[in-house]
Amino acid sequence: MIRETHVNAFTLALFVAIPLWAVMADEPFTITLMTRAAVFAIAAIGLNVALGLGGLVSLGHAVFFGLGGYAMGILAHHAQTYTALAEWPLLIEGTKSMPVIWLTAIAVSSLAALAIGILSLRTAGVYFIMITLAFGQMFFFFAISWSEYGGEDGLSIYVRNGFPGLNTLDPIQFYGLCLALLCLVLVFVWRLAKSPFGLALNAARQAPVRVETVGLDPARLRLVAFVLSGAIAGLAGALFADLNRFVSPVMFSWQTSGEIMIFVILGGVGRLFGPVVGALVFVALEHWLGELSEFWHIYLGLLLLLIVLFGRGGLIGMVSGREAVHD
């Protein structure tokens, strides 16, 4: 058995070593795959805040991922067409600056998470799952019918957005940016889990009545967790859109929500590196199995079934032999 911290260190080492190798071997496609894994990992870490710490089984995180994507798409679209986003009550113009886009993505997805959270956290259990799924579908159909921004076809952005001091068109530089953000988010969530808020949220998942009898409000703790979770997923959405230079309603689809959840489960729920391992393994499977068979989702489905039925604690749990953190 390998210790979980060693698994984590090894994973991080892979995120550094593989792209470095790819640069030397001149394999830009591998860098793109690793960028994809890093971005998925951020989204999944976001979901893990709600799911692993808060115990909130949200099947609607595509909403925040998609909003982040559309924040990027809409801002960059207006910048590239030289049109204003809004002229009244104040003039808002598009932008090609990543930091501005990221902040917008985080702000928009947090607000959406706040609204959806207030409504859906009135319920629990199966209701919560169904409602988050339904809100995801609502955004999906809205994006499809919103013809101003491409409707069903989505929006293409011709040139990747810029970051001060970097050439984001160079795959390894853009990857470095995503990896840096991944590390930042990891540190933030690591601190979050140990913080007073994290302690209370953890307890609210396991024994909500107890949390209430010490004078805290479990509902409010969950809502804040849901908002933080949505904000992180929104950031990932903006990065994903920049990676593909394209956004479409697919980002809002229920499959996207399901995939983000798969990343978390593959790696291990409630573990800091669970989502990271899960995203990396998913991208690897998608690449290799996808080459072997057009129908690789069957194998993914079977793998997922096996993990759910027999392997509690995800891949990290199997390797490190520690029980699931979350019951």
The interface with another protein within residues 115-154 (CB under 8 A) comprises: 119-120, 122-127, 129-131, 133-135, 137-138, 141-142, 144-148
Helix (H, G, I), strand (E, B) or coil at 85: strand
With tokens 């550094």, the residue in question is 16
318 lines the binding site for another protein (CB under 8 A): no
165 lines the binding site for another protein (CB under 8 A): no
285 lines the binding site for another protein (CB under 8 A): no
Between 103 and 129, name the residue whose CB sits nearer to another protein.
129
Q: Which stretch binds another protein (CB under 8 A): 6-14, 79-87, 178-186, 196-204?
A: 196-204
Q: In angstroms, rounded to a whole number, what is the distance separating the alpha carbons of residues 276 and 265?
A: 11
* Least distance between another protein and beta carbon 22 (Å): 29
Q: In angstroms, rounded to a whole number, what is the distance separating the alpha carbons of residues 12 and 158?
A: 32
* Least distance between another protein and beta carbon 215 (Å): 4
Amino acid at 184: L
Q: Which stretch binds another protein (CB under 8 A): 3-11, 33-41, 175-183, 298-306?
A: 298-306
Q: Which of 192, 285, 289, 318 binds another protein (CB under 8 A)?
A: 192
User: Under a CB-based contact definition with an 8 Å cutoff, are residues 68 and 236 in contact?
Assistant: yes
Q: In angstroms, rounded to a whole number, what is the distance separating the alpha carbons of residues 14 and 185?
A: 18
Q: Which of 189, 188, 210, 177 is nearest to 271 (CA)?
A: 189
322 lines the binding site for another protein (CB under 8 A): no
21 lines the binding site for another protein (CB under 8 A): no
Q: In angstroms, rounded to a whole number, what is the distance separating the alpha carbons of residues 54 and 34?
A: 29
- What DSSP assignment string belongs to 138-188? HHHHHHHH-GGGTGGG-EE-SS--BBTTB-TTSHHHHHHHHHHHHHHHHHH
292 lines the binding site for another protein (CB under 8 A): no
295 lines the binding site for another protein (CB under 8 A): yes
Q: Which stretch binds another protein (CB under 8 A): 6-14, 114-122, 165-173, 284-292?
A: 114-122
Between 98 and 307, name the residue whose CB sits nearer to another protein.
307
183 lines the binding site for another protein (CB under 8 A): no
The torsion of the CA quartet 278, 284, 290, 292, rounded to 10 degrees, works out to -120
Calculate the alpha carbon distances from 209 to 10, 96, 184, 253, 322 in Å. Answer: 39, 48, 34, 35, 28
279 lines the binding site for another protein (CB under 8 A): no
Site for another protein in 242-261 (CB under 8 A): 254, 258, 261
87 lines the binding site for another protein (CB under 8 A): no
* Least distance between another protein and beta carbon 270 (Å): 9
* Least distance between another protein and beta carbon 214 (Å): 3
Calculate the alpha carbon distances from 201 to 41, 197, 231 in Å. Answer: 22, 6, 17
Gyration radius (Cα) of the chain, Å: 19
Between 22 and 53, name the residue whose CB sits nearer to another protein.
53
Size of the site for another protein (CB under 8 A): 71
Can you read off the two tokens belonging to residue 64?
């925040």
40 lines the binding site for another protein (CB under 8 A): no
